[in-house]
Structure formats: C-alpha cells, structure tokens
Amino acid sequence: DLVVTQTPLSLSVTPGQSASISCKSSASLLHSDGRTYLYWYVVKPGQSPQLLIYELSKRFTGVPDRFSGSGSGTDFTLKISRVEAEDVGVYYCMQSIKLPPTFGPGTKVDIK
Amino acid sequence: QVHLVESGGGLVKPGGSLRLSCAASGFTFSDYFMSWIRQAPGKGLEWISYISSDGDTISYAASVKGRFTISRDNAKNSLYLQMNNLRAEDTAVYYCGGYYWGQGTLVAVSS
C-alpha cells in the first residue's frame, strides 16, 4: 500500500496566525489524467470527518478561503491562514491515486 | 442537502457478524463512488472499503479483506457493509461517504 506521512503530529497555534501541515507520500500522486489525488480532511471534536481540499488544491463546498492546499508529486502542504478557534481538530491527508486509499497519521491542531 | 445516515452498529462478541447500512439522500447516489472508513477509540482515520458508482470496482484494506463485504443498491440509495468474523480490533466508529460523511455508527466487539 502507498504510505502517507504527516508532520508535525501536533501543532499549537495563536489565533490570527498561520499554520502549515506537511504531507508526504511514498509515490507520486500525479495521475496521467493531470489530476493529483491528494485530499485533506479534518475531524473536529465530536464531529464526523469533513473534506476540506480535494485533488491537491480545490476547496470543497463551504470551506473558507483561509484553507489552501499546495504541492506536487510526493510533497504537499495544507496552510491555514488566520487560524480561528473553530479550526481545532485533527487534520488528515489522504491519497486515492492507488487503491486502497490511505490516510496519514493525522496532525492535531489546538489553539494557544 | 446531502444526508448520509449509518445504522446497524452495536455490541457483538468476537467472531460475530454485523451488517451496517448507509442511507443516502440529497444527491444522485448512483453517480458516485462510496467508501467506508472507521476511527477506533483514540486512533486516526482508517479507510476500509471502496465501491465504484456501478459496483464493478471494489477494494478493501488488508485489515478487513476476506471478512468484510461492501455492496450497494442504487435503486434504494443505500450502501452496505457486511462484517463477519469480527475482532476486538474492529471496534470503531464506522462512517460511510466519499466527499461528505455520515454521523457514524459505533461497532464494539467484546466478549
């Protein structure tokens, strides 16, 4: 299976500041169709997983533009600009270029 | 508005079986792939099974392959997960979805 790793595993952020999470895959997530099959999810306390970013950098419906995804090949970044208290949760990247899809271990984000 | 509702979870003894169901509404179910993922207590997300929109392509995580069976009924807008030979390590909240996810159903495997 394709392995996905994340760093850091935890992050404490001051409200209004930015936060970045790195995600690396063991193989390129760039498909021959030109799409990069990298997704970002968040699990907020007591809630179901929510999709934030799909296909590398496309924000899902209703996701604030404070969230942005970037990267290429095997290295990716989720950036949260102007962090708010509601952004607390565990953030996961996931690849789906190869079945089975695999999640990273998660990055826990809390507020200082 | 997309709505996904899982059901069928509960407490089961090791070696037992459960069938999870997922009722979908608010979108054209037959147009989309669907998956089951789970989250064990204090652990991260684990993807466990995928089924294509027409049901022709199916995939399982190694941890459940041979024990779990995913299926769908597009006429009923429903997704299923038959879970056999359950183990303690299958204890988790199970979610159905793809882009959106349901509220989850808890499966607890214990003697």
Q: Could you write out the DSSP letters of every residue in chain A?
A: ---EEEE-SEEEE-TTS-EEEEEEESS--B-TTS-B-EEEEEE-TTS-EEEEEETTTEEPTT--TTEEEEEETTEEEEEESS--GGG-EEEEEEE-SSSSPEE---EEEEE-
Question: How close, in Å, is residue B93 to chain A by CA atoms?
Answer: 10
The confidence score (pLDDT) of residue A32 equals 96
Residue A99: the pLDDT is 87
- Kindly state the average pLDDT of the residues B94-99: 94
pLDDT in tens, B48-80: 999 999 999 999 999 999 999 999 999 999 999
Write down the pLDDT at residue A91.
98
Give the residues of chain A that fall short of pLDDT 70: none
Q: Distance, in angstroms, between B12 CA and closest chain A CA?
A: 23
Nearest CB to B44 within list A50, A92, A99: A92
Tens of pLDDT, residues B20-32: 999 999 999 999 9
